[in-house]
Structure formats: C-alpha cells, structure tokens
Structure 1
C-alpha cells in the first residue's frame, strides 16, 4: 500500500468532501500504489514528480515550493516538510503526497486541496436596498476565498442594515446548499418598514413628558416633519439615557423599561417608556475634610450640593472637580478630592469631600517639544501672555496635562497645533518648583479653500481662499523645492490670507498679513489691502483700500488699538435720475483715516456663545477729499435662559449699536439700516433718508425721493432667542429688531427663523432663513419679508 500522509488546516465539511473527491481522482491516473515500506522506499531514487488536485495554482508554483528533485533518494521527512510548505500557500486548504513504484523508481505525487472561491454572490428578495449597498456589508467580495465563518457573519450584518432603516422583522438566510459550488446566496425577507407612530411615558410624576422627549432620540417626527424609523438599539439607548436623567435629578433608584406595541399591519410602532421614579434623595449633611491643611478660602462658593439640596452622583462629581480645580489653579499640582456618599434612611444621603491638597509649587523650567516647524518662541510668548512663566504658581487646572485645560486649548488654537499638552515634571524633595513640558503635535496650518454662498442681501458669491496661519515672512526658500513643497515661509506664527470673492452683486478681494506678537509682546500688527465692487441702486461703488492696524491685549481681556487707512472710493455708472448727493461724489474720492478703538470679549465660545458679552467702541477721524469723524459703539450680551435634559441651551442674545457722523460725510460713509444683522423685515439698506431725483441736463417732472443717501446717525436695538431643536447646530429663532435714523420715527419688526451650523474643520459655517414683519415703519422704507444666507466651503 502506498504511504500517505497529510497536513491539514481547519476547514469545513464541504471542503473536506471536495478534497476527498480530488484525492480519489488523482491516484486513479497514476501507476499502482507501492506496497513497499517507507524504509524500502528510501532506498530508491525519485523517477518522476507529479502534481494533482490543483485548480488555480499552477504546476510550476507547486514544484517551486517543494524541495524534492528527480534523481534524488526519496526521503519521507523531506516529503512531510514539502506538504507543510504547500499547505501554507495562499488558497490551499491542505496538502498530502502519494507514492508509487515504476521501473524501480519512486513516482512522487503532491496533492493539494484548494480553498473554494466565492464565485458568485447573490441577494434574493431585496427590494429596499440595491445589491451594491448590501455588498458593502459583507466583508468579502466575489472572487475572494470562501470563508464559511465570514459568510455566516455577514448574515447578521445584513440584518443590522435592515434594522437600522426600520425593518424590524427582516430575516436573512444563507443558502448553504450552494456553497460547495462557490455560490453565496442570501435569501432576504424584508417585511414591512416600521415607523414610530407614538412615544408615551408612564410613571413620570416629577418630570414632564415634553422634557423627557427632548432627552431621547426615539420620536414620531424628526425636525418636526420627517418620519422616524423604528430602531430597537436606539430605544435601548434611550432607556439608559432616561435612567441617567432621573439619577441626575436625585432619583437614584429610578428604573426605566420600554414596551413596544406594533400596529396590526406591523408598519407602525407605539413605544411606551415605563418609569418607576422611586424617592428623590436630598443631602442631610455635607462635610469637607482636609481643608485646614490648605486655605479654606480656596473653596468655591458655587457648589451644587448643600444641605437640604437634592443629591445626584453627577452633582457630587461636579463639586469634587470644582474643589480640586480651585486647588490646582493655586499651585497644588497633586491635589486630590474624594467624593463619598452614605445613604441615610430611604431618601437622604450624607456627603463627604476629602481634600488632599499636597504641596504647593511654583513653575520651574519650561521645555517645548514636538514643534518641528513652529519656533519655540511662538509657544513661549503665548505662555507669557497667559501668565504661565517661571516663578509663578503652577496653574495645574489651566495646564491639566490632557490637552483640555484652558491654557492648553489656547496654545492649540493660537499656535495652530493638532494637540497641546502641558505636563508637570517629577517633584523633588527639597524644591518648591515643578518643571513643565509643553508637548505639541503640529497640524495643518495652510489651506486652499473653495466655496460658494448666496444671500438675500448680497446675491451669489464664490470664494477662493489661501490661508497660512503659521507664516514666517523671513523664512526665505533655500531652493525651488522648498517653495514647491511648502517648506519655506513657515514657523513664526504669523498669518497670511489671500481671498477672492467674485459675485453677482458684490465682489471683493483681500490680502492681509498679521503678526500676533509684535516683538514677542501681546501686540498684534495687521497690514492689508482690500478691494470691493458693489452695484447700488443709483450707482456702482468701487473701493480700493490699504490699512495698518495695531492692537494691544491686556490681561483683563480689554484691547485697545489704532488703525490707519488710505482708501479710494469710486462712484460711477450713475442712473439718469441719481440724486444730487450721488452726483456730488461722482468719480474717485480719496480718504485717509486714523481710528482709535477699544474692545472686550468675555464670551465663552467664539462661534456659539452662551454667556458673556463683547463690546467695541471707536472714533475715526477722516481727511482727504472729505473731512469728518465717525463715533461708533456696539455691545452684545449673551445669556443662557434654559438648559434642557440633553444639555442643549436656549440662549438670549441682545445687541445695542449706536453711531454718528461728526461733520459732513459723503453718502458712502453714512449709515443705512435694513437686512440681516440690522433690521430684519426691511430690505438691505431699505431704511435711509432718500435723495430727490435729479438730472442736470433734462429736468425731471415731479421728482420723487427714491434712492437711499444714508443717515448721519443710527441706533439699533436687537433681541434674539435661539431655541435648539435636534441639536445645538439647529436652532429655532425668535427675534425683535428696532432702530432709528435721522429721518422718520422708530422702526421695528418681529420675526422667526431657522439657524443651521454646518461643521467645518476651522469652525461652523452658519446658514440662516428668517421671516420678519415690520410693525413700525415709514412710507418710504423698503421691506422684505424673507431673508436668508447660505454658505459652504468645499
């Protein structure tokens, strides 16, 4: 009997059957199997080497893998090693060898059993999803080796895909009978698509249903209009969310479960969240231990917990964090605060905060690492401005070491890094100082952006922007490749911005260079040029301006500065009946201005402020072809009116703006009201004194006052409430705008709208759609009910 051995990988019953069939066919065409013992065979030389069972593997590839050669003595150990090597080839399920004797020589046959291929992949019964969509859920594709475990796992992924879209009763079955032929067939029964018809709450005695609804994602309608698919995973997550909501409201023992009732046709689902609130826990005694070791005055005054106040784990953790933060910011780098609670009776707890302040440290040496392109002083001057310098108390709250501290965020944003972490060095026994290491990961600082926008006030506008926020004007390229690959003009933290915005109504271009730390001090220098063209009602206006701005920043957030501008304003293409105020400034007008300004910003967020205010006031003296002054002041306040259970904030924004001309200014420097950001409900520049129609060559019969010529002063007062809907990026707006100019009485409008914040890597881009109706206006005012602004970068 021929000797036969095999090395096998893990496989399926189907693969084994195929291998046995191939094995049976292979030796049938060979000489009679040898009955010699292995020891006797090893006395013979190999006369011929054959290959069997291969379907996709070539004979050459197999023979190149084995070590046996014709003419050599047959060796059992070597043959065993050969089949081990064959079994490792890609696509081979397992391998073995056969021997036979012919004319006194060994005929050695290597048999390989290849893995089956997924020769076809098919979906049967799918109507909602195309084959191409379902194929992306498989994890394999046609032509890959057939892995039965992977093929079966894909069944669950297809089901999940259907469940995500509301097909709660979808079933997917793999037709295993066709696998041996390399056919992967999924039989799909989609069932009805289930929509949420109603969401109810039972047992919610303390919290209103409308508040609970805001905290969860399961709801009958999305954005008040679109139907919502049934999703069991979402419901399960909502159960956890509701339990957390109740626990945060002091109901520590609250339990929540969900029941689903499907409609008769299974196309709808009514979800009921059944709540057992349990008792609300209150604080009986609150104790803070360990404070005498430090300074009791360090304790924050705005703790959320207190005796007879409601208790929640979240409030306790918040207070512990607040207490620790107060110590950290005063130099207690290793301060720890433990929060413990003890239940007393059925609805009370005793709360203990154990404070371990540790030693107090000043800042020692500061090292900066990770900045391969950015210069050290770019980061150090930020630390200097924020007061994080050697010898000062080590503020470990602002420099938390996790990249989320206030100082770390400032470094990341100002130095334009991907991340910034400030960590303390080891404590030394005889030193009151801790070294600090600023570790940064540099990010992308330069970009070329293309965009477009449309607004009711300015028409369609395109946008092309080059922005380098880590510019270095003195870093000249050493070679052409430095310039091509962006290795030059980088690293000093300066900013170069070039923008061109062509539009149907208004077109602009600008070039600006900004040095945020002039001579490494908190003084910014901006030098720029600006061009502007706009088609007005009675004329076309073109501007070309150069300017220089200096601004000094102070520790209390105040800023003051001065700006110089040289500008040419061209007024041309006048209408035949343009008023005399327009004709008086026809052609080029040269202006030279010197402006002094102060401003302050205490808001909590640059893009979506919820608290704080910003204030700006300025006086500009203008000379040249016209001599006049401009006094202006603007104040904005932000206040959070309400925060729902999902931590979405309803914010009130109020604005007061006043400005006046000192002297006699041309109409293109005067004030106009109306439009977005001014008086909604009125057309852009729709509130203004009007000039009398005039033509110097052809007198106009019965001239009217039609074209806006600007006011010598303006006063605006606006109030707007933004109520978040699905998220803080989508808000419903309610507003009232009022204003006055030097002609007519007070104008006022009321309205509503929708605000959408589109996320971008540099910050959100706002979209606004607003409807407003004036209820106080003058007869010559131009109104507009609907206004909008839409912009996007791509």
Structure 2
C-alpha cells in the first residue's frame, strides 16, 4: 500500500467522501468544465436583490430589440434575481439568432442598477445567387438547397447546399462538377454566391471486372447499381458513393458464397474526351472456404439425420454459401411449421477451422411449443361472403397448425383475384392452441373497359368488356338504388363476363358465366354463348355457339392435385365468300352446318402463378368427339399439352431468370372440316411464321387447308431487364403440321423479345417478338415481327 493510500485510509469514511467531492469539484471548476448560468462578477454579486433601474441589450444590428425584450422578460423596477437573469440568458440563446453564449452584466450608473444583456448576432444571408448553371434552372436548384434570404449563415448550411448541388449534377452524369461559394461576398456583404463549373457530361461506357475467376461478368453486373449508358433507357451516370456501395455489394456476394476473405475495390478511367468513362472493379477473391464439420444444437423433434435430410444442400465438403444456408433454414422452419411448431427459429454460425480454407458450422434450432388450430376468424371482407374465403383455406380447427397450409391459402386467395392482399397470422395465448386470423383486402372485381388492341394474329380490334369476378347470381337487388350503387349481384366468387370485340379481321362477342364451387363442392360450372366472324384469305367464317362445362378438382386419393372436366359444345357455322378457284376441301365445307361435341379433359397444374410461373408444370390432355350429340360432322380430336417452368437464378433484387419448356401435340381421327383442323404459326405457336402460315396446302392456289397432326415445342428463357416492369426473352420454337401422323416437314425458328408489364393493364404483358425461321418449307408464310398488346381508355 502506498503512502497516499494510507493517508486516505486514516480519514473517516464520511469525511473522506466529502473531501474527495470538494477536491473533484475544485479541479473541474479550475478546468472550466462546470458552468451554471452566467459567471457572477463582483457587480453581479452586489446587485443581488437590488431594484433594476434600466434594461439594455448590447450588440444588436438587425434583430428587433422590442422582440427580445419579450424574450428576456426582465422589467425595470423589479429586483435583481440571479435565477431569473440566468433563465433570461438561456431564452436568448434558444432563439438561435446569436453566436457564442449571450451573457448579462450588472452596471452601476449614477448610483442606479443597470441590467445589460450582451449578444453577438449571427450573420444572416442578404442574397442568394447561383451562377454557371446551364443543365438545371436556378429555380430548380433553389428548391433543393436550404438557403434563403434571412437564413443564418453557417458552415453546415453552406456545405450542405454545395453537397446537394454536387449530388444533383453527379446523378445527371456531370462527374467533374465543381461547386464553390464566393468567400469575399459572404464575408463582406453576407451574400451567398454559388458558382458552378459543370464540366462535360460523363457517361459510363464500360463496366469491367478484374480478378473474377469464379463468377462471370454478367452475374456480377446483377449485383451492382452502376449501369452503362443506353440511349433513352439509362443515363449511365457515375457516382462515387454508388460505386462504393457496388464494391461493398460485390464483396458481400463473394463472402456469401464462401470467399470469406474477398476484397473489392474500383478504379475509373476517363477517355481523352473526358466524357466517356470505364469503371473497373478490382477483385481479390481469396480462397473459397468449405464446411469441415456440422454440429446440430437444440433439435429434439427431428434427429440429426432428419435435419440433414431436410437441409439437403448444406453438406460437409461443400462451400459455405449464404443463399444455400438461407434456403435450407427456410426449408427446416417450414418442416417444423407443418408439424405445428410455428415459432421455430433456425440460426447458423461458423468459425474458422485451424486448417486453412475450412469452417466449422453450427446449426442452432429453437423448436419451442407445438400448436393446433383454434378458431378461424375472417376480417376485411366487406362484400365477399365468408364461405368464399373459407373454402380456399383448407385447414380446420383442432388440426396441427400448418404454416405451409396457411401460406398456400394466402396465395390461393390472391390468385383468385378477389383480393389484393391476404395474410394469415396465429393469434391467442392459450397453451398449445393458436387461432388463425385471416385478413383480406378486397380487390376491384367489377370492371368496365373500353379499349383497342392490336395483334399480328388478329389485326386491329376494338373492345368493350364488362366483368364481375365476384358475381352472385342470386343476390338480386331489393331496390333500384341497390342495383345502381353496385350493392347487388356480388359476393359469391362467381364470374360474369360480357365482351364485344369488333375488328378489321376478327369480330367476336361472348358472354361467360362460371361458378367455381357448385353446391359448395369442388365442382365448377361454366356456361357461355358466343358469336364469331373472321375474314380469311380463302373464305369468310361465321360461328354462333353455346357451351357448358363441368369440372371436378381432386384434393385426396390417387387423383390428388388433378382436375377432370367435361365440356359440351353446340355451334352453327357458315362458311361463305368461297372463291371458285378455292381448293376442293374448302368448297366441300362451304355453306351452313351444325357441330356438336363432347370433350373430356384431365388437368394437373403445380405452377406457382397463373401469370408469370417460375416453377412447376401444367399438363392437360383432352379428347373431343364431334357428332356425339348430332350435327353435320363426326371426328375425334386428341390433344396433349405440357409446360414446365424452372427458376434458373434469382438476383439480388429477387427477380427471377426462368426457363420454360413446352410441347403441344394433337391428332384428328376422322374427316374434320377445314375450320377444325390444325394450323401453325404466330403467337402461341411457331413464331417467325404468319398466323396459320404453316399448313398443308391444296388447290390451284396452294390454299391452306389445315392438317390432322400437329406438334409444336418451345424453349424460352425469360430474364429481367428493368425492375419488374420489363423482361426479355430468348426462344426457339419448333414443330410441324401434317396431313397425318408424321414429321416430314419440320420447321424451326429462333428469336428474341420483350415483355412489358403495365399494372393498369392487368397481369398480361405487352409482348414483342423478333423471330427468324431456321428451317421452313418453300410455301410457308413467314413473319419476322409479331406483337400483342392492348390498352384501355
């Protein structure tokens, strides 16, 4: 023990605390670290309690003294009170009009006490001028900067104004911009003169990567915000802050894929014209780390083998990949969620192994309690009946709570297009039971559209459409007011659609009704009537028809996931304006006729979306027998369709790269009329050929008469271009249409296209395709560009 310590130990505890406190207080006071109000002067001390004769404020130049008198609230004739003077000084400081700290003095004049407040005014802006700006108007820049006449002059506000202007210019591509404030005018006259040297506009022409041995430049470009210049589409502006974020994003991309020591920087190279710029990201990948061991912690319901069988992509000897770990964690959480463990959490951590290039992985499972469904409560359905929502849930009280089932129900509710949003959340506090709260936001289900559309298949078409996707055939209005206010015929989830489409080549009108749950069963009923007119090169075709259909969806048993349908068709057909040189097959079908048919179908659909599927498949097979219920024709038509979708890659912005493989085949048995045979070409068939441009031909003019066998295949790669609005496609279509079963005249095309999604137009995109026939017949009709779009107004 030191001597000093012994000295303090000899002082009684209470006195020691007092001595220590006074010592620290004195030390802090000497250092100027403790200040309570204004520092008392001898005059201040002598003034305490005396009557104030006069109040003065010194140092004012522009601030109104009468205003400040209302702030300080010290009046002549009142006694001097140190606490009141201190409060007045604090109020002066809070006005923000003074630099430093205002203070108060007590002065003796002719034996009378004068209270003097001393201040130093902040300088205020007398004028704001912007010079040198050609790209942006002065008014536009003034809106962005926080400076105006009367604003206090401060380094912070001036620097902020400069940064705002620089940022605005750099975002527009003016990388060399320089912004300065005239110091002389500011000091002498309080005038803020901002001088801008814009410099040339810089465009990023190239983005390069150095050191990227493991990932392609295309994959790396998907991770960054900096883009190259494309006229009308992208400015190609360069910004250092964005480039820094890009370097960080690239580093994260590498680290997430096991390159734990990766480093990323960048450099810029300007062309001689100072306007074209190349950005090069310099990458030091380092070594990719592999998983040496996996330890499972906290899993009691599933043993290690079961967890490993669920997290199939996380294995010893594989790279440690953040995306794979996330995917496997979600799969494990979903597996627990299917068994009622709805609050399970799975986390992963890794530590570096002693052996270089390896990590040891720990998978920590917090299983928590198991739950069953309690009550199911539905909210948000103002117009839709409860049963319309509940029939899409497919889970019931007392079953094990299943989070996969609730997510599937949310998707079904949104896919029904009756609801714009649907969420199902567990509620309650009872042990082992959680109620399911179903909250929906009803979508706009009644639409009246007037529009015009154009396709390369059908020409110019006008459109008048009235549709109610939440129709109720039995909800009749009790008053005329209910009908006109839209409070009738709604809420049962039925669909009623009326459509009239007059056009230059095709005109049609139809009415369709569908009940998806007939008698509250998994049975759908469809009814419809239609009229159709089309002018073809070989003849004019008119149809008047009626159809009805019944379909059954299977949720259990050997046919689980399948749907069966039976459709009945009744048509009156008129083939007219047949030229005397037309082929005999066309002449044979000229005039009036009747056609009836029965068509059973079997369908299975596992896709994740009806509009932009990214995984799963659709399979449909059908056989239509014409003449089964009478009519002028007797033939059979067998169809098989299959479309499969794969997600190849998902980028940083959750946009998907999708591969679609499809095939459609058909065979006619018997003597079918020309208007029921197969034709190929156009959108939905083999692009690069005209609509119905692929067909067996007959007659003196080689008229298209259709075939009895058809096979069309497609492979299409779809990828994002701009946000979720614009996608690109690259495709190849192949197939044939023959007189009978065979593939003697094979056609093929390759092409590229674009899909533009406009929310106002609904989920169907505007499609533009360029396709080039690779293999064709000499009498085929080709068409390089095909398009399909519509608009409403």
The bucket for the TM-score relative to the shorter chain is 0.7 to 0.9
Structure 2: tracts of 5 or more residues without a match: 1-52, 68-74, 79-90, 96-124
Note if contact 2:417-2:445 (Cα within 8 Å) is conserved in structure 1.
Answer: no
For the residues of structure 1 that align with 2:549 and 2:195, how far apart are their CA atoms?
A: 70
1:569, distance to aligned residue in structure 2 (A) = 2.3
Note if contact 1:248-1:315 (Cα within 8 Å) is conserved in structure 2.
Answer: no
- How do 1:766-781 residues align onto structure 2 when only pairs under 5 Å count? 766-777=766-777, 779-781=778-780
Match status 1:355 vs 2:365: yes
Note if contact 2:516-2:522 (Cα within 8 Å) is conserved in structure 1.
Answer: yes
Aligned residue for 2:779, secondary structure, equals coil
For the residues of structure 2 that align with 1:4 and 1:532, how far apart are their CA atoms?
A: 100
- How do 1:374-413 residues align onto structure 2 when only pairs under 5 Å count? 374-384=384-394, 388-399=395-406, 405-413=407-415
Per the alignment, residue 783 of structure 1 pairs with 782
Per the alignment, residue 614 of structure 2 pairs with 610
Note if contact 1:317-1:339 (Cα within 8 Å) is conserved in structure 2.
Answer: no
Match status 1:242 vs 2:244: no
Aligned residue among 562, 582, 585 for 1:581: 585
For the residues of structure 2 that align with 1:446 and 1:765, how far apart are their CA atoms?
A: 21
Return 330-339 or 723-732, whichever deviates more. 723-732
Return 296-305 or 564-573, whichever deviates more. 296-305
Return 253-262 or 716-725, whichever deviates more. 716-725
Aligned residue for 1:382, secondary structure, equals coil
Note if contact 2:582-2:701 (Cα within 8 Å) is conserved in structure 1.
Answer: no
Note if contact 1:670-1:712 (Cα within 8 Å) is conserved in structure 2.
Answer: yes
Match status 1:287 vs 2:289: no
Note if contact 1:461-1:501 (Cα within 8 Å) is conserved in structure 2.
Answer: yes
Match status 1:501 vs 2:501: yes
For the residues of structure 2 that align with 1:168 and 1:710, how far apart are their CA atoms?
A: 62
Aligned residue for 2:264, secondary structure, equals strand
Match status 1:566 vs 2:570: yes
Per the alignment, residue 337 of structure 2 pairs with 328
- How do 1:215-364 residues align onto structure 2 when only pairs under 5 Å count? 215-222=223-230, 228-294=236-302, 299=307, 300-345=309-354, 346-364=356-374
- How do 1:501-650 residues align onto structure 2 when only pairs under 5 Å count? 501-555=501-555, 556-623=560-627, 624-640=631-647, 650=657
- Distance verdict in 2 for CA 1:764–1:351, change over 3 Å: farther
Aligned residue for 2:600, secondary structure, equals strand
For the residues of structure 1 that align with 2:264 and 2:709, how far apart are their CA atoms?
A: 61
Return 354-363 or 301-310, whichever deviates more. 354-363
Structure 1: tracts of 5 or more residues without a match: 8-12, 24-35, 40-83, 89-117, 400-404, 693-703
- Distance verdict in 2 for CA 1:175–1:4, change over 3 Å: farther
Per the alignment, residue 473 of structure 1 pairs with 473
Aligned residue among 658, 661, 665 for 2:668: 661
For the residues of structure 1 that align with 2:508 and 2:162, how far apart are their CA atoms?
A: 56
1:327, distance to aligned residue in structure 2 (A) = 0.7
- Distance verdict in 2 for CA 1:611–1:396, change over 3 Å: closer
1:19, distance to aligned residue in structure 2 (A) = 6.0
For the residues of structure 1 that align with 2:379 and 2:638, how far apart are their CA atoms?
A: 47
Per the alignment, residue 716 of structure 2 pairs with 720
Aligned residue for 2:412, secondary structure, equals helix
Note if contact 1:212-1:645 (Cα within 8 Å) is conserved in structure 2.
Answer: no
For the residues of structure 2 that align with 1:332 and 1:224, how far apart are their CA atoms?
A: 52
1:195, distance to aligned residue in structure 2 (A) = 1.0
- Distance verdict in 2 for CA 1:567–1:266, change over 3 Å: same
- How do 1:728-739 residues align onto structure 2 when only pairs under 5 Å count? 729-739=726-736
1:246, distance to aligned residue in structure 2 (A) = 0.1
For the residues of structure 2 that align with 1:145 and 1:454, how far apart are their CA atoms?
A: 59
Aligned residue for 1:686, secondary structure, equals coil
- Distance verdict in 2 for CA 1:182–1:294, change over 3 Å: same
Return 533-542 or 130-139, whichever deviates more. 130-139
Aligned residue for 1:383, secondary structure, equals coil
- Distance verdict in 2 for CA 1:412–1:295, change over 3 Å: farther
Note if contact 1:378-1:415 (Cα within 8 Å) is conserved in structure 2.
Answer: no
1:666, distance to aligned residue in structure 2 (A) = 1.8
Measured against aligned partners, the alpha-carbon deviations of 1:230-265 in whole angstroms (never above 9, x if no partner) come to: 233432231122012101220122222222233454
Measured against aligned partners, the alpha-carbon deviations of 1:402-451 in whole angstroms (never above 9, x if no partner) come to: xxx3322222332622322222233534xx54322212233332333454
Aligned residue for 2:416, secondary structure, equals helix
Per the alignment, residue 756 of structure 1 pairs with 755
Aligned residue for 2:609, secondary structure, equals coil
1:741, distance to aligned residue in structure 2 (A) = 1.0
Per the alignment, residue 176 of structure 2 pairs with 169
Return 325-334 or 206-215, whichever deviates more. 206-215
Return 369-378 or 761-770, whichever deviates more. 761-770
1:635, distance to aligned residue in structure 2 (A) = 1.6
| Bigger relative CO (Cα 8 Å, ≥ 6 apart) | 1
Note if contact 1:550-1:563 (Cα within 8 Å) is conserved in structure 2.
Answer: yes
For the residues of structure 2 that align with 1:290 and 1:4, how far apart are their CA atoms?
A: 79
RMSD: 4.1
Measured against aligned partners, the alpha-carbon deviations of 1:247-299 in whole angstroms (never above 9, x if no partner) come to: 12201222222222334543122222222323322111112233344466753
1:631, distance to aligned residue in structure 2 (A) = 1.8
1:581, distance to aligned residue in structure 2 (A) = 3.1
Aligned residue for 2:469, secondary structure, equals strand
- Distance verdict in 2 for CA 1:226–1:412, change over 3 Å: closer
1:568, distance to aligned residue in structure 2 (A) = 2.3
Per the alignment, residue 44 of structure 1 pairs with none
1:638, distance to aligned residue in structure 2 (A) = 2.7
Measured against aligned partners, the alpha-carbon deviations of 1:662-721 in whole angstroms (never above 9, x if no partner) come to: 3322211111112222223322212223342xxxxxxxxxxx133212222322233334
Match status 1:367 vs 2:377: yes
Aligned residue for 1:705, secondary structure, equals coil
For the residues of structure 2 that align with 1:136 and 1:450, how far apart are their CA atoms?
A: 41
- Distance verdict in 2 for CA 1:173–1:375, change over 3 Å: farther
- Between the two proteins, the alignment pairs up a number of residues equal to 678
Aligned residue for 2:317, secondary structure, equals coil
Measured against aligned partners, the alpha-carbon deviations of 1:187-232 in whole angstroms (never above 9, x if no partner) come to: 5432211111332323334334443234324344549996722233
Per the alignment, residue 428 of structure 2 pairs with 426
For the residues of structure 2 that align with 1:383 and 1:365, how far apart are their CA atoms?
A: 13
Per the alignment, residue 100 of structure 1 pairs with none
TM-score (norm 1): 0.75
Per the alignment, residue 741 of structure 1 pairs with 738
For the residues of structure 2 that align with 1:489 and 1:151, how far apart are their CA atoms?
A: 62
- Distance verdict in 2 for CA 1:377–1:684, change over 3 Å: same
For the residues of structure 2 that align with 1:343 and 1:360, how far apart are their CA atoms?
A: 35
Note if contact 1:162-1:170 (Cα within 8 Å) is conserved in structure 2.
Answer: yes
Note if contact 2:469-2:495 (Cα within 8 Å) is conserved in structure 1.
Answer: yes
